[in-house]
Structure 1
Amino acid sequence: MAPRSVPESALAGLREDLAGQVLVPGDPGYDEARILHNAMIDRRPAVIAQCETQADVSNAVLFGRETELPVAVRGGGHSVAGTSAVDDGLVVDLRRMHRVVVDPEDLTVRVEGGATMSHLDRACQPFGVATTGGRASTTGVGGFTLGGGSGWLERKFGLACDNLLAVDLITAEGKHVVASADDNPELFWALHGGGGNFGVATSLTLRLHELPATSIAMVFVRPESAPDVVRAFRDLGEVAPDEVGGGVICCPAPPTPFIPEHLVGELVCGSLLTYAGPVDEVREFAAPLLALRPEAELVTDIAYADLQCMLDDPPGLRNYWSAEYLSEFPDAAVDVFCERAARIPMPTSTQHVLFMMGGAVADGPLDYPVPWRTAPWVVHPFATWEDPADDERVRRWVRDVRADARPWSIDAVYLNFIGNEGERRVVAGYGAGNHQRLARVKAAYDPDNVFHLNHNIAPAASA
């Protein structure tokens, strides 16, 4: 079916109003501009507004409303559900707005709404400062932060939203508002986990932290030794200082220099310790893992911006993810985790992940709508593959992982880690009480639910 056509007079007005570019089907660059991170999503917008300024964003939102087009907002395009594109609608594309301004004296950074983690991390690196970012350099800073923001540095510096100081937002009426502790504080609260429900974030101001050194310790073992690695990692996580983060990652071994050639493509169980400090200190914490005589190991200093690239997926893969946040991870959970890891669908590049939480995450503000912050562990099945014929068996494996973890689940979930899993999971992502409060904020700033292509919060009817 051909995409919906928009009156040429309306398009001409939008082109005149925008400093950026307007793309419609058939234009050079249209097909490239509509590609998302998840290759399972193939949507054909009626209009893509490639915004360059805050005024562009306002004009694009007003155009969408005047033409009655559904509106999607694109930052990094990493949503596994593909919410940053829409068939027969308008995409407000922020990717041209990726400037990052670091203030090393005040330890703050202002990040435009289309910037990725790579833009942020590379800008901060020369000053020896950082803030909690996602675990992939191509992730958009805006959607990541507004959704809560879980990353390698969270145990030391808190979630990304814990470091949020201010947001410039374009509302559904095309108006510019500032949200901070002093300006529109209820909206500011909602932006600490409520996602893109309330408007288009054209810039975010974040708190920075001094980070003079980062290091990692990685080990890989064959599947039969996986329980030993997982238990050692779990035991370490229960006593490690906040500087230590990381995860267990079971997957087909990637073709990297420190992995023996005979293991490449074979199922392995790996443990990655990240450390906000020098390599000699991370080696001490990694001693129980290194003592297991792994098939491959790597202990090294690494620049934080390079660490952020380690798990980047190549473009063009099909993606399906989910998560369960856990109150504990006893030996019984270790066993079912490892049993499911041995059944990772092959040949794919799927990862079966256990992340360590706690530290500054658990100690952070409990008032924000991120009820999952109290969990010490999260199981995150992260499936990626190429062949559409594998869709059903891979998605079934992800659902089986969730079922395995349910006995220890806290029934709260980080919505950036999941796709469309129904209304109950959306409420679980915010918390029932928070969801009602968020609905009132939604009614104040987006009563018509213009921004609904997300983990949506319907506006409260009584507001």
Structure 2
Amino acid sequence: MTAAQSFGEATLGELAQALRGELVRPGDPEYDEARAVWNGAHDRRPALIIRCHGVADVLKAVEFARSEGLPLAVRGGAHSIPGFSTVDDGLVIDLSAMKGIRVDPGRRTVVAQGGSLWSDVDAETQAFGLALTGGLVSSTGIGGFTLGGGIGWLVRRCGLTCDNLVAADVVTADGRYLHVSEDEHPELLWALRGGGGNFGVVTSFEFRLYDVGPAIFGGLVFYRGEDAERVLRGYREATRGAPDELTTLVNLTTAPPAPFLPAEIHGKPITAVGGMWSGRPEDGDAATRPFRELAPVVTDLFGPMPYTAMQGLLDPLYPRGMWNYFRSAFFGDLDASAISALTDAYARVPNPISEVHVHHLGGAMGRVPAEATAFASRDRDFILNVVARSADAGGYPAAVEWARTATGALGPDSATYVNFTGEGGEDRVRAAYPKDTYERLVAVKDRYDPTNLFRLNQNIRPSQAH
């Protein structure tokens, strides 16, 4: 008997009556839509889905999962690469209806509920010419992205998203509702800044904001695939003099059949450099010029644009339903060895929709003391993100194996990034944190979730679970 079959109708009826939101069960007309997540690689069948309409629903959902011994998944934007947004035969807390956002332009802060997407936050904050580091894909939820770190187009100017988390409201495993800040539960706030979804359901986040937009200077420039090594060598030199207002990345990919690219290179290897200049837009052309002259140019799409347009620039490339597996590795220098590993991975790309990304870090992110947050990989200037994808199950195993090999080529000491890790497992989690940081996270876990109720994440296991 499954968990879905084991509850009496009276029990479920009582639960449904206690909710402002919806209780969705197998067999309900909306069940298949409600259980679907962004990553097509995960086709799970929860016993129950609670679509929460407020904190009271979250409290009831956590209490029910705890009392019934149900595996518990927490879903915001549902973009979890390892599939932590859903669970077989357990309970899903779906926050997607909780999108309340309040901007305080005087204090330069925003409070956003846990179901908000980056497109929601950007729309509200840009009304006041304000922003913080958000996702590169605007349909990403703010929750998991923030709790794991948060790398985006403003990371060099504003730091990680988690660096700008100033407070949060959290429902803990024992049913408490806590306001967390530097003055209240400061050690929990430290853990939320990069420790993943280990410590409770964050029902709202409060962030620090910066003067950004509404106009920025950014875009993409494309070079031929055979120039990848030349582009990477030049990129290394260009990043050395880059100001904090400029965040860039290199994408080793395949040319899509887009009208802005010549037809003769459609379907062939292509190297793209993307970037955003968040200083004065009139200074953007000169600031980005070194990244737009790395090799003979195929197409240059850099120019002035709204900040929200830049935030959504990559959205069409990441639709729902594809099978996704990501892998990551921080590294210190884009030297000859790293370039060789990257170009070798590029040469072996398994299909046209899998890619190799190199992000330039540093700037404001690198100036935050390592001990200030649970996110501690701040001494590396670059991160490799390997995006392995397939349209369906057919090509997925080959894509996964390719991604694992690609990051492994950078060496065994390369730390991983929890938001770009395609599977769980204690070894992968330990690789994301220095030993002292990991032990400190265990201590926070022991205090706020000693039974490991919140274990569907890049899990920090409490002491009693070891």
1:363 aligns with 2:364: no
Percent identity among equivalent residues?
Answer: 40
Does residue 310 (structure 1) correspond to residue 326 (structure 2)? The answer is: no
Structure 2 Cα separation of the partners of residues 123 and 254 of structure 1: 32
1:163-196 CA distances to partner (integer Å, 9 max, x unpaired)? 0110100011221011100001111111111111
Secondary structure of the residue aligned to 2:302 is strand
Aligned to 1:424: 427
Q: Tell me what 2:67 maps to.
A: 66
Aligned length: 460
Q: In the alignment, which residue of structure 2 is the partner of 1:238? A: 240
Q: Which of 378, 381, 387 in structure 2 is aligned with 1:376?
A: 381
**Per-residue Cα deviation, 1:179-224 (whole angstroms, up to 9, x for no partner):** 1000011111111111111110000000000113321142212221
Give distance in 2, aligned partners of 1:289 and 1:110: 36
Distance 1:264 1:462, change over 3 A: closer
Do residues 253 (structure 1) and 258 (structure 2) align?
A: no
Determine the structure 2 residue equivalent to 1:262: 264
Q: Which amino acid aligns with 1:417?
A: F
CA distance in 2, matches of 1:343, 1:95: 38
Q: 1:48-98: CA deviations, max 9, x gaps? A: 000001011000111111222111100111110000111000001000001
| 1:45 Cα offset (Å) | 0.2
Following superposition, the deviation at residue 36 of structure 1 comes to: 1.0
The one of 289, 295, 304 equivalent to 2:298 is 295
1:256 and 1:293 map into 2 onto residues whose CA distance is: 19
What do the CA deviations read for 1:24-62 (whole angstroms, capped 9, x no partner)? 001121101111111010000000000001011000111
Aligned partner of residue 97 in structure 1, secondary structure: coil
- State the partner residue of 1:132: 133
Quote the Cα distance in structure 2 between the aligned partners of 1:261 and 1:96: 42
Match of 2:287 among 282, 285, 288: 285
**Alpha-carbon distance, 1:410 to partner:** 4.8
> CA–CA distance in 2 between the matches of 1:326 and 1:25?
45
Quote the residue 2:330 is aligned against. 325
Any stretches of 5+ residues in structure 1 without a counterpart? none
Aligned to 2:440: 437
Say if 1:38 and 1:136 are closer, same or farther in 2 by CA, change over 3 A. same
Return the letter of the residue paired with 2:156: R
Distance 1:309 1:245 in 2: 16
In structure 2, C-alpha distance between the alignment counterparts of 1:431 and 1:289, rounded to whole Å: 33
Give SS of 2:364's match: coil
Out of 414, 417, 425, the position equivalent to 1:414 is: 417
Q: CA deviation at 1:3?
A: 6.5
Q: Distance in 1 between matches of 2:465 and 2:61?
A: 29
User: 1:215·1:302 contact (CA, 8 Å) conserved in 2?
Assistant: yes
Q: 1:34-183 maps to which residues of 2 (within 5 A)?
A: 34-183=35-184
Deviation at 1:279, TM superposition (A): 4.5
> Following the alignment from structure 2 to structure 1, what is the Cα–Cα distance between the partners of residues 448 and 283?
48
* Residue matched to 2:452: 449
Paired with 2:111 and 2:174, the residues of 1 have a C-alpha distance of 24
Q: Does 1:204 align with 2:205?
A: yes
Letter in 2 for 1:396: E
Deviation at 1:413, TM superposition (A): 1.9
Cα deviation digits, residues 203-260 of structure 1 (max 9, x gap): 0000000113321142212221111211222211121000111100011123434222
Give the structure 1 partner of residue 229 of structure 2.
227
Aligned 8 A contact 2:138 2:311 in 1: yes
- Determine the C-alpha separation between the residues in 1 that align with 2:37 and 2:465: 37
| 1:334 pairs with 2:339 | yes
Q: 1:19 to 1:217 in 2, by over 3 A?
A: closer
- In the superposition, the TM-score normalised over structure 1's length comes to 0.96
Work out the CA distance in 2 between the residues paired with 1:140 and 1:288: 33
Structure 1's 51 and 217: CA in aligned 2 closer, same or farther, altered over 3 A?
A: closer
Determine the C-alpha separation between the residues in 2 that align with 1:458 and 1:227: 42
Contact 1:24/1:46, CA 8 A, preserved across alignment: yes
Distance 1:55 1:424, change over 3 A: same
Cα deviation, 1:256-312, whole Å, max 9, x if unaligned, reads 342223223222111112111344423223333433221111121122222111222
State the distance in 1 between where 2:69 and 2:428 align: 29
Task: Say if 1:102 and 1:109, in contact at 8 Å, map to a contact too.
Answer: yes
Whether contact under 8 Å (1:162, 1:365) holds in the other structure is no
Task: Give distance in 2, aligned partners of 1:2 and 1:255.
Answer: 47
Alignment of 1:182-197 (within 5 A): 182-197=183-198
- Partners of 2:186 and 2:257 in 1: how far apart? 48
**Tell me, what secondary structure is at the counterpart of 2:309?**
helix
